[in-house]
């Protein structure tokens, strides 16, 4: 994030996070990429010990008590050693906890939040199913009422932390016949209740974050573990989508940043035709593009953080800004990683530098937590609604009428 806009306290928070990521041995990163480590428990435990999990969670539950402006600073730094560090950190301490903070009972908050913040327990979020992730409300995992309990049956797919998590935030159908927005309930399910996980995906990148299949085979969950209202999952979902998408966006900047740093250093030293390659505009202008892309991405993150923190921006606009951030920032960062590879030439395509890993890792950013097409769906939907409201308010200049022939008869035909 922009250090020249940070408060003293935020600079300290950033430096604490930089210390945390410097603590990670390089072998740990390589072992995660090789899947010798399936879930980064040691990293999560260390982050928890340093009070760097749950940045926006109130202090009384073990969090840092910060705002989005603080959260995005940590999210960027956490991903510098690899995107998957942020994925595991964010799902557990930013996304699942968002549901608990906003919709959990006092008992649920006291039980689940402190161990998550301390890095003693880990949480995963279970939305996507084999039949689809984009059409979330079409889920087929069922929770059937049985006295004071629910019996869960179904399967979730591609769940970060599936391998490793103690708690699973699960969305399941409780009234399949009802309209989709009133058909689902959100549950906090503990591994000991009988959750089975299978670690079976050969991911292209972002490895070592426990991404797994999660199976519920007659798992009995007490009604005390319902988060929010029964059949009320859609409001929980809407709230969680802010950290899910906005958090992901801010993390992605950190994962792309090393690509710029490495390409800058390389182009300052590597020579061709008797001069450093940075002296060719074909190279240095790529560096300029990368710098601009990362800064424009940061600008969007910063503005969105301010908007959400202000409490004055309505929820639908915050969701639009979060979706815009997710789409725009992940696309800028993807470009940055690829531009870096181009600047490096052939060596960038090898594992002598981590550029190829950054490219593999970052491809996920445009797919998970809602694809960028789904982000476009949300952005246009909210924008059309807002434009209609603007037109009926009638308090802005109508630019359409500023054309020479704006009043031409018989030309403005719409049907």
Ligand X SMILES: Cc1cc2nc3c(=O)[nH]c(=O)nc-3n(C[C@H](O)[C@H](O)[C@H](O)COP(=O)(O)OP(=O)(O)OC[C@H]3O[C@@H](n4cnc5c(N)ncnc54)[C@H](O)[C@@H]3O)c2cc1C
Instruction: Tell me which residues are annotated as active site.
Output: 244
Listed in sequence order, the residues at least 6 apart from 129 whose beta carbon sits closer than 8 Å to its beta carbon are 139, 140, 141, 154, 155, 156, 157
Query: Which tokens sit at 18?
Result: 């930089």
Query: Which tokens sit at 213?
Result: 């299949």
Give min distance, CB of 53 to ligand X, in A. Answer: 16
Query: Which tokens sit at 199?
Result: 């670690």
Alpha helices (H) in 311-371, listed in sequence order = 315-344, 355-362
Query: Which tokens sit at 282?
Result: 């074909």
Work out whether 203 is an interface residue with ligand X (CB under 6 A). yes
Work out whether 133 is an interface residue with ligand X (CB under 6 A). yes
Question: Helix (H, G, I), strand (E, B), or coil: what is residue 145?
Answer: strand
The region of 132-140, 220-228, 253-261, 323-331 touching ligand X under the rule CB under 6 A is 132-140
Question: DSSP readout, 146-196?
Answer: ETTEEEEEEEEEEETTTTT-SEEEEEEES-TTS-GGGSEEEEEEEGGGT-E
Work out whether 302 is an interface residue with ligand X (CB under 6 A). no
Give min distance, CB of 117 to ligand X, in A. Answer: 19
Give min distance, CB of 152 to ligand X, in A. Answer: 15
Going by DSSP bridges, is the β-strand pair 167-173/123-126 parallel, antiparallel, or unpaired?
parallel
Q: Which of 272, 248, 250 minimizes the C-alpha distance to 366?
A: 248
Residue tagged 């309505």 (tokens): 314
Work out whether 377 is an interface residue with ligand X (CB under 6 A). yes
Work out whether 183 is an interface residue with ligand X (CB under 6 A). no
82 versus 348: smaller Cβ distance to ligand X:
82
69 versus 252: smaller Cβ distance to ligand X:
252
Residues 141-180, mask of contacts with ligand X (x by CB under 6 A): -----------------xxx--------------------
Residue 343 near residue 283, CB atoms below 8 Å: yes
Work out whether 373 is an interface residue with ligand X (CB under 6 A). yes
Give min distance, CB of 181 to ligand X, in A. Answer: 16
84 versus 260: smaller Cβ distance to ligand X:
84
Work out whether 303 is an interface residue with ligand X (CB under 6 A). no
Give min distance, CB of 388 to ligand X, in A. Answer: 21
Size of the site for ligand X (CB under 6 A): 23
Q: Applying CB under 6 A, which residues contact ligand X?
A: 91, 125-128, 132-134, 158-160, 203, 206, 211, 364, 367-371, 373-374, 377
């Amino acid at each position: 994030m922009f250090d020249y806009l940070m408060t003293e306290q935020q600079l300290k928070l950033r430096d604490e996070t930089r210390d945390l990521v410097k603590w990670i041995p390089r072998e740990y990163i390589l072992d995660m990429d090789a899947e010798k480590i399936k879930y980064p428990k040691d990293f999560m435990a260390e982050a928890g010990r340093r009070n760097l999990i749950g940045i926006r969670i109130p202090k009384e539950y073990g969090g840092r008590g910060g705002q989005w402006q603080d959260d995005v600073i940590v999210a960027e730094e956490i991903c510098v050693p690899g995107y998957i560090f942020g994925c595991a950190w964010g799902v557990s301490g930013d996304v699942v906890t968002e549901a608990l903070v906003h919709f959990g009972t006092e008992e649920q908050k006291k039980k689940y939040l402190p161990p998550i913040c301390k890095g003693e327990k880990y949480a995963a979020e279970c939305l996507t199913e084999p039949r689809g992730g984009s059409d979330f409300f079409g889920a087929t995992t069922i929770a059937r009422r049985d006295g004071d309990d629910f019996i869960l049956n179904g399967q979730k797919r591609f769940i970060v932390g599936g391998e490793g998590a103690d708690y699973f935030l699960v969305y399941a159908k409780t009234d399949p016949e009802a309209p989709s927005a009133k058909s689902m309930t959100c549950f906090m399910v503990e591994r000991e209740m009988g959750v089975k996980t299978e670690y079976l995906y050969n991911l292209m990148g972002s490895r070592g974050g426990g991404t797994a299949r999660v199976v519920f085979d007659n798992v009995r969950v007490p009604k005390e573990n319902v988060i929010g209202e029964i059949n009320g999952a859609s409001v929980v979902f809407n709230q969680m989508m802010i950290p899910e998408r906005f958090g992901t966006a801010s993390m992605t900047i950190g994962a792309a940043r090393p690509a710029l740093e490495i390409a800058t250093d390389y182009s300052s030293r590597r020579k061709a035709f008797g001069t450093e390659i940075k002296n060719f505009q074909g190279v240095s202008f790529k560096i300029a593009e990368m710098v601009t892309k990362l800064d424009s991405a940061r600008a969007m993150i910063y503005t969105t953080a301010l908007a959400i923190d202000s409490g004055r921006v309505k929820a639908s606009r915050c969701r639009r800004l979060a979706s815009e951030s997710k789409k725009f920032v992940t696309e800028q960062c993807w470009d940055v990683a690829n531009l870096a590879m181009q600047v490096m030439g052939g060596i960038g395509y090898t594992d002598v530098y981590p550029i190829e890993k950054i490219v593999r890792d970052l491809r996920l950013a445009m797919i998970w937590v809602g694809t960028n097409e789904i982000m476009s769906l949300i952005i246009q939907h909210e924008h059309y609604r807002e434009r209609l409201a603007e037109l009926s308010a009638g308090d802005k200049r109508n630019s359409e009428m500023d054309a020479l022939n704006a009043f031409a008869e018989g030309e403005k035909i719409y049907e």
